[in-house]
Amino acid sequence: MLKLNSISGFLISALLLSCCGGGSGAGNGGPNIGTPTPLPSVSLSTITQQAYEQSSQIAKVKLERSSSNARLNVKYAISGALDITKGSASSDDYQLTYSDDNSAVGARFEMAANQSYRIIEVTPVNDTQHEVPEKLIFTLTADSTYSIASDQSNASVTISDADNSSANGKVFIGAFAPQGGANTIGNGQLSFILQGDNDSGLLSYSFSDLGTEQTDQHIHLSPSGTMIKDIETMGNLSNYAWNLAPGGIFKTEQEMLDTLFDGNFYVNIHSADYPSGEISAPLSYQASITPENPGELSPQQVDLDILRFLTQSTFGATPEQYQQLRGEINPEGDNRIDVYSAWIDQQIGKPQTSLLALTDATLEKFGTEDITIARDRQEPGQNIRSDSFWPIALYGHDQLRQRMAFALSEILVISEENSDVDNAYRGTADYWDMLARNAFGSYRETLEEVTRHPAMGVYLSHLRNQKADPESGYYPDENYAREVMQLFTFGLVQRQKNGAIVLGDNSLPIATYDNSVIKNMARVFTGLSFSYAKNDDNEKVVNNNFFRGNYANDYQYRYTEPMKFFADYHDYDAKVLFSDNGNELTIAPGSPSDPSSADDELNRVITGLVAHSSTAPNIALKLIQRFVTSNPSPDYIERVATAFGDQGDLRATVKAILLDEEARNPAVASSVTFGKVKEPVLKFTALMRLLQVGSSVPLGSSSDDAIASLNYAQADQFDDGATLMRVANAAIGQKALAAQSVFNFFAPEFSPSGALSRNSLVSPELQLITESQLFDSFNSLHRLLINRFNRNNAYTKFNIHFSVEQLNIGLNFSRLESVWNSTQGSGIDKATAVVDYLDFYLNAGQLAAADNNGTRAAMINNIAVASAEDRYTLAVYAAGNVAEFQLQK
């Protein structure tokens, strides 16, 4: 170990040596000594960078020369880490030997005649001290007998206690107890797993029963209470990386490590009643405990991870998909990330199913083209549009793309609750298809298309938005300007890459913009209107009328093409927009005579919005919440935000979300906070996919002439057995593209009162689960079970193609029947198999894993004695409604 005060000594001597050497070195026009043989050039490089005391792994450095076979001595200096907070090796930490003869290295590197290189081995001395990684830098110094290769004058190695395999982790644990005299029943557990090289570790803890709301959490030094680290987030931590960076009174990592092993760090949780800490837990080293090896999974854990993965990435796991992945993953599961990654690539390659094409195809059978049906007996197009979501979600091959479209539709929100959006059903369908098309592209392109889409234009009212005319007293509409910043990109406050709020000089969050930015941003979105319209002959023609209205006719050409700028109504003046880290986005004046200058301006603004440093963490959090968990760790957010980048690489983002160690960690099965409540649409699609829901109208052609079919040309993009799904406005509590407002169905920060908010945890989906909605949802499932989950209305009644009976939607219980029939033994045995089957596919086995098995027993006992007629409906009713099935971990 090298003490702090000696590092600078080493550095100075190294510098001095190199200065002197440089002054008298060759190559600077020194005296000519006769033979002009060029000097040999010597160089250093690192062969093996790491030395480990525990495993006696040796670090290696290679000394080479370019020419000359004569004996050569090469001067060198040794120094430590340039960053004084880092560890530096001292001479008692290692021995230097040559690999070829095991002889010790002396004050100079020696090369014998004919030796073109030598390997210098750094053998660590295995002491019993706990040391941070220690750097050792060799620097060649000049001499008249050689020259030094300018880019290879030095080589560094690091000496660490042990490698970072999990077996070398060191475990610190602690229990939360009232801090000082705090009167609280707050409690909890803490662990810190320090990695083998002592460089950083993973801090996890959970606590509960604080008396009042949490306000902060820190790591402190005992007994003084000096704060060492502010943990930026609130609530429980899971594998939060702490790198032991010096803080408080400490200047070096080694001091931090010594203090850690001395047991003088503690974590405390601050609350409103106890601003200096309500509960605290020490980090106590437990030499006898070794951490679990997270790499080894049992076959059952592999199974459940596959189900978790499919639940995260599709509209519901099916036996076929499970079998496919199970077949490719080896029993230990250690290739599963590669298999999932390949599966994602396959999904990306699947042809996109189209909501607009399916809507149009269905309309032909229900709609306006058939002159034998009076207009008032024809199904409104918006009904067809909203029904058409279901076959895509339930049977589409491009499951991940459509899940991504659904997730994006909950960020870049338009809603048919707005009557213009509802009426423009072809535009609304086209908007969905646009999101799906961009699902694995770039968020920047997505946002540009969103901004120009007439469905968004009409929803957030930047369609036909005119430049200001202060004389007349009117100003551009600010609606889109506001939400494109707050909701679609960087949000209200400046964030770090891990999502934590950045505090300004006044210790308050830094607002990303103010009202003047909104006003200027509104000017960017002026002059946009429809680019196409319909003429009197129902032909699609270019629109030259800025003021063309919202009317959605049968063709809706105006709603399926991007909006364009009308120069007379765009504000071409200079604009000062938002700043990010001191860089202000300003727009130079454009020119009304140059049609492309408004487009250029829009492109610049969109690029700037997405590249803003807070956009990546903001969108990363929202997407993680849609796929994996409501409360991701800061590191998880940061990893996904990094994949997102400054253009919004959605392909990298979706992989980062689904393949992240936090998403794939089987240990979350026992977590009481990880995961999310299944949102109603996903809960119902999962159940319907497993139980092969359908009507009697095939999407493709019908094999039986007596059965009418949709004859949809792209039916091969869907699973076999895909059918028309007139789901209608079933009161399940959620409907795609029908959020109540631009703030979506639920807020990303919704934190229900009680244990969740006391632990600073959010659960957005719970905002939808109210008492009345719960009953509506139960009743909707009941209707599905009795085949009445459908849109049977006057329009259906008059339809000449399909009877009401054909359009009825029902579940197919044959999978459950097969489980029952193929299970040997008593009714209890058979019922157990059915319950476990549903638990496996719908719930990744959470019911079987629950500590309290009362629900499982009640399901089994009741299903065992149910009549054959009620058996499966009872099983599915229970699986749909009991609390144990509502979460996705």
Q: How far apart (Å, rounded) are the C-alpha atoms in residues 329 and 842?
A: 21
Residue 747 as a binder of another protein (CB under 8 A): the answer is yes
Q: Which of these segments, 335-343, 371-379, 471-479, 529-537, binds another protein (CB under 8 A)?
A: 471-479
For the segment 292-331, give every residue that binds another protein (CB under 8 A): none
Q: How far apart (Å, rounded) are the C-alpha atoms in residues 315 and 888?
A: 12
Q: Which of these segments, 330-338, 343-351, 592-600, 848-856, binds another protein (CB under 8 A)?
A: 848-856
Residue 757 as a binder of another protein (CB under 8 A): the answer is yes
By CB atoms closer than 10 A (0-12, 13-18, 19+), residue 56 is: exposed
Q: How far is the CB of 673 from another protein (least distance, A)?
A: 6
Q: How far is CA 218 from CA 164, 631, 635, in A?
A: 26, 19, 17
Q: How far is the CB of 594 from another protein (least distance, A)?
A: 26
Question: 131 is written with which tokens?
Answer: 């040391």
46 versus 886: smaller Cβ distance to another protein: 886
Residue 422 as a binder of another protein (CB under 8 A): the answer is no
Which residues neighbour 99 within 8 Å (Cβ) at sequence distance 6 or greater? Answer: 60, 118, 119, 120, 121
Q: Looking at 55, 200, 479, 793, which residue binds another protein (CB under 8 A)?
A: 479
Q: Looking at 13, 67, 544, 779, which residue binds another protein (CB under 8 A)?
A: 779
CB 67 within 8 A of CB 41: yes
Q: Looking at 33, 104, 706, 883, which residue binds another protein (CB under 8 A)?
A: 883
Question: 332 is written with which tokens?
Answer: 């230990």
For the segment 519-578, give every residue that binds another protein (CB under 8 A): 519
Q: How far is the CB of 306 from another protein (least distance, A)?
A: 21
Q: Which of these segments, 109-117, 537-545, 745-753, 814-822, binds another protein (CB under 8 A)?
A: 745-753
Which residues neighbour 473 within 8 Å (Cβ) at sequence distance 6 or greater? Answer: none
20 versus 672: smaller Cβ distance to another protein: 672
Question: 341 is written with which tokens?
Answer: 């990654």
Residue 474 as a binder of another protein (CB under 8 A): the answer is yes
CB 105 within 8 A of CB 97: yes
Count interface residues toward another protein (CB under 8 A). 83
Q: Looking at 103, 114, 150, 772, which residue binds another protein (CB under 8 A)?
A: 772
Q: How far is the CB of 470 from another protein (least distance, A)?
A: 9
Query: By three-state DSSP, how is residue 459 classified?
Result: helix
Q: Looking at 233, 763, 799, 832, which residue binds another protein (CB under 8 A)?
A: 763
Q: How far is the CB of 581 from another protein (least distance, A)?
A: 20
Q: What is the DSSP string of 640-672?
A: HHHHHTTTTBHHHHHHHHHHSTTTS-GGGGG-S
Of 525, 493, 523, the C-alpha closest to 510 is 493
Strand partners, 511: 493
Q: Looking at 96, 119, 761, 828, which residue binds another protein (CB under 8 A)?
A: 761
Residue 337 as a binder of another protein (CB under 8 A): the answer is no
DSSP 104: B
Q: How far is the CB of 743 from another protein (least distance, A)?
A: 5
Residue 836 as a binder of another protein (CB under 8 A): the answer is no
Q: Which of these segments, 106-114, 345-353, 585-593, 767-775, binds another protein (CB under 8 A)?
A: 767-775
Question: 293 is written with which tokens?
Answer: 């090896």
Q: How far apart (Å, rounded) are the C-alpha atoms in residues 670 and 849?
A: 8
Residue 793 as a binder of another protein (CB under 8 A): the answer is no
Give the pairing of strands 117-124 and 94-98: antiparallel
Residue 106 as a binder of another protein (CB under 8 A): the answer is no
Residue 183 as a binder of another protein (CB under 8 A): the answer is no
Q: How far is the CB of 394 from another protein (least distance, A)?
A: 23
The CA-to-CA distance between both ends of the chain, in Å, stands at 45
Q: Which of these segments, 36-44, 106-114, 746-754, 836-844, binds another protein (CB under 8 A)?
A: 746-754
Site string for another protein, 794-823 (x = CB under 8 A): ------------------------------
For the segment 500-519, give every residue that binds another protein (CB under 8 A): 509, 511, 515, 518-519
398 versus 483: smaller Cβ distance to another protein: 483
208 versus 222: smaller Cβ distance to another protein: 208
Q: Which of these segments, 21-29, 193-201, 371-379, 769-777, binds another protein (CB under 8 A)?
A: 769-777
CB burial of 766-779 (b: ≥16 within 10 Å; e: otherwise) equals bbbbeeebeebbee
450 versus 876: smaller Cβ distance to another protein: 876
Q: How far apart (Å, rounded) are the C-alpha atoms in residues 589 and 609?
A: 19
Query: By three-state DSSP, how is residue 423 classified?
Result: helix
Which residues neighbour 113 within 8 Å (Cβ) at sequence distance 6 or greater? Answer: 69, 70, 71
Q: Return the percent helix, strand and coil in the chain, to nearest 5.
A: 40, 20, 45
CB 553 within 8 A of CB 614: no
Q: How far apart (Å, rounded) are the C-alpha atoms in residues 459 and 805?
A: 37
Residue 78 as a binder of another protein (CB under 8 A): the answer is no
In degrees, rounded to 5, the angle at the alpha carbon of residue 410 between the alpha carbons of residues 405 and 411 is: 100
Residue 740 as a binder of another protein (CB under 8 A): the answer is yes
Q: How far is the CB of 578 from another protein (least distance, A)?
A: 14
Q: How far is the CB of 742 from another protein (least distance, A)?
A: 8
Site string for another protein, 373-412 (x = CB under 8 A): ----------------------------------------
Q: Which of these segments, 143-151, 244-252, 643-651, 871-879, binds another protein (CB under 8 A)?
A: 871-879
Site string for another protein, 196-225 (x = CB under 8 A): ----------------xx------------
Residue 886 as a binder of another protein (CB under 8 A): the answer is yes
Residue 882 as a binder of another protein (CB under 8 A): the answer is yes
Site string for another protein, 484-503 (x = CB under 8 A): --x-----x-----------
Residue 760: how many other CB atoms lie within 10 Å? 18
Q: Edge-to-edge strands of the sheet including 94-98? A: 94-98, 117-124, 59-65, 41-48, 147-148
Scan for tokens 């005992």, then name that residue: 222
For the segment 620-639, give every residue that binds another protein (CB under 8 A): 630
Question: 226 is written with which tokens?
Answer: 């000096």
Question: 831 is written with which tokens?
Answer: 């019922």
53 versus 478: smaller Cβ distance to another protein: 478
Q: Looking at 342, 672, 794, 804, which residue binds another protein (CB under 8 A)?
A: 672
Q: Looking at 353, 423, 673, 696, which residue binds another protein (CB under 8 A)?
A: 673
Q: What is the DSSP string of 734-796?
A: --TT--SSTT-SS-TT---TTHHHHTT---GGGGG--HHHHHHHHHHHHHHHTT--S---HHH
In degrees, rounded to 5, the angle at the alpha carbon of residue 665 between the alpha carbons of residues 210 and 815 is: 110
CB 322 within 8 A of CB 340: no
Strand partners, 117: 64
Q: How far is the CB of 615 from another protein (least distance, A)?
A: 17
Amino acid at 661: E
Give the pairing of strands 147-148 and 41-48: parallel
70 versus 857: smaller Cβ distance to another protein: 857
Q: Which of these segments, 109-117, 422-430, 538-546, 866-874, binds another protein (CB under 8 A)?
A: 866-874
426 versus 889: smaller Cβ distance to another protein: 889
Q: How far is the CB of 425 from another protein (least distance, A)?
A: 20
Q: Which of these segments, 62-70, 145-153, 576-584, 770-778, binds another protein (CB under 8 A)?
A: 770-778
